[in-house]
A = this chain, B = another copy of it.
Amino acid sequence: MQEPQVYLNGKFIPASEAALPIYDKGIVLGATVTQMTRTYGQKLFRSEAHIRRLYYSLRYASIEQVVSEKELVEISEELVSRNAELLQPDEELGLIQFSTAGKVPLYAGRVLSDEENRPTLCAHTFRLDFSYYADAMRQGYHVVTPSTRHIPPECIDAKMKYRSRLHWHIADSQTQQVDPKATSLLLDLQGNITECSGANFLLVRDGTIYSPTLRNILPGISRDVVIELAGKLGIPFKEQDLQLYDVVTADEAFMSSTPFGVCPATKVNGKPIADGKPGPIWKRLADAWSELVGLDIVKQITT
């Protein structure tokens, strides 16, 4: 079977060879920023916007990438175009770009020259396995607030998409004690809700969509699409500090993320949100999203 390719530090190589040396700061420190996008109809969705965010992250993380923003757009398109050839017609690709801060000179056993120690840059794709999200898309996610909290912006700012996320792993292991299929909705240090491990969280009250503020969340591109679609549909969108009470008493809740676009959240800490069923605002957004990308995003995932 033919193998997908991976872009790594200037070269396209077979996926099975894509690996980082154990001295890479991405492994040693989690010093990595990243982005993820996907295709709809095997075409990349909002690729420039994702890469713009990646370069914001690089700037904030003090990682000086030699590949330019524009070059990465082209590399990404080239990669997707190559790997899409291996897909079935109804399949889609996920695309990840990440950059680490380079290698740890000490662990390499000698001081590395600047030439040798450029920040790592990688872009890779994977076939989107929709079965992973099908249940959630049909019945909604169960979110749980574990005691582990989100990292505050004065430590690592959540507006940067980064990979020092051991707290997510720990939070999820607490969450799965409640329900093996649940996903964590992390609180910040003041007890406000923030985001899920891998998705933005949004809720609805009295016809308005409410989002946590940008203090503690990723300004996700999928969330931007929600704002854009809500604007078109005439649904008000507000950012404010929200607490668990707001989730428990919401009329409706949902999540936004690259793999699924928008997906309902129907249970919180074991309690149904409203009637425990996917809500009408989510449905309208999903329909508008489907129209935007030219295919039924719910159907694609659930069938």
Contacts and interface: CB of A to CB of B under 8 A. Distances in A.
A190 interface: yes
B156 A166 contact: yes
Interface stretch (A69-77, A141-149, A289-297): A141-149
A177 B179 CA distance: 8
Interface stretch (A14-22, A40-48, A228-236, A276-284): A14-22
Interface of A: 6, 18-22, 24-32, 56, 59-63, 94, 96, 98, 101, 105-111, 122, 124, 126-127, 129, 132, 144-157, 159-160, 162-170, 173-174, 177-179, 187, 189-192, 213-215, 239-241, 243-246, 248-249, 259, 269-271
Contact of A189 (B109, B126, B152): B152
Nearest to A247: B60
Top 7 nearest A-B pairs (CB, nearest first) are: A30-B30, A154-B191, A164-B164, A19-B19, A62-B173, A164-B166, A145-B147
Contact of A164 (B127, B167, B187, B190): B167
Q: What copy number does this chain have within its complex?
A: 6
Nearest to A166: B164
Nearest to A159: B245
A191 B152 contact: yes
A64 B187 CA distance: 25
Nearest to A132: B106
B108 A126 contact: yes
Contact of A151 (B146, B156, B178): B156
Contact of A146 (B20, B98, B129, B147): B147
